[in-house]
């Protein structure tokens, strides 16, 4: 009985990037994502987990914030504009998202973030003590 030559052993395939992230909920119910290989947590959904519509919303210059009273307003850091009415570009993207049934995760929030364990981080209210937010991520004052 002849033995078949053995196939060379292939190294185990690297898991897809999606498998490296685990979604959790903070004490106040907000989602955050934990990156297993780096032991890092982030509030914004990682790009490799976003749908095409979520990517389009993230790249849109307009971000939604809320006043202390809960009134929404919209800021575009690139254009240096802040308005009360939802801009047409953002409205269309949100309508597409709703039509697709993709609720997604808020792209920006005007409330200070807490770390996943509920502590206030050193990094400007960002999980994992990350560096301060970029100009585009910073909350803008509401329109007057």
Averaged confidence pLDDT in the chain: 73
| Average pLDDT rounded to a whole number, residues 61-80 | 94
- Residue 30 has a pLDDT of 93
Better-scored residue on pLDDT, 128 or 91: 91
**% pLDDT > 70, the chain:** 60
On the CB side of 20, CA atoms within 13 Å amount to 14
Q: How far is CA 47 from CA 38, 42, 67, 70, in A?
A: 16, 11, 27, 28
Q: Are the beta carbons of 42 and 127 closer than 8 angstroms?
A: yes
This model's pTM is above 0.85? no
Using 50, 70 and 90 to split pLDDT, how confident is the model at 127?
very low
Residue 2 has pLDDT above 70, yes or no: no
**What is the distance between the alpha carbons of residues 92 and 98, in angstroms, rounded to a whole number?**
10
User: What confidence score (pLDDT) does residue 58 get?
Assistant: 84
First to last CA, the chain: 88
Helix ranges (DSSP H) in 1-144: 52-59, 88-99
Tell me what pLDDT residue 137 has.
47
| Pair of tokens at residue 50 | 């976003």
Tell me the CA distances in angstroms from 37 to 11, 15, 17, 41, 131, one per residue in order.
18, 11, 10, 11, 20
| pLDDT exceeds cutoff 90 at 12 | no
- Please compute the mean of the pLDDT values over residues 28-56 and round it to a whole number: 92
Query: What is the DSSP annotation of 56-111?
Result: HHHHSSEEEEE-TT--EEEEETTTTEEESSPPHHHHHHHHHHHHTT-----S--SS
């Amino acid at each position: 009985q002849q033995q078949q030559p053995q196939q060379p052993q292939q190294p185990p395939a690297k898991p897809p990037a999606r498998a490296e992230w685990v979604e959790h909920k903070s004490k106040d119910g907000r989602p955050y994502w934990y990156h297993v290989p780096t032991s890092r947590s982030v509030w914004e959904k990682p790009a490799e987990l976003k749908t095409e519509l979520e990517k389009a919303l993230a790249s849109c210059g307009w971000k939604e914030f809320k006043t202390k009273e809960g009134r929404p307003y919209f800021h575009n850091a690139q254009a240096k504009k802040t308005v009360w009415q939802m801009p047409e570009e953002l409205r269309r993207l949100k309508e597409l998202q709703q039509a697709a049934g993709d609720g997604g995760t808020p792209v920006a929030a005007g409330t200070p973030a807490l770390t996943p364990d509920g502590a206030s981080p050193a990094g400007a209210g960002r999980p994992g003590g990350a560096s301060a937010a970029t100009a585009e991520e910073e909350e803008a004052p509401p329109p007057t």
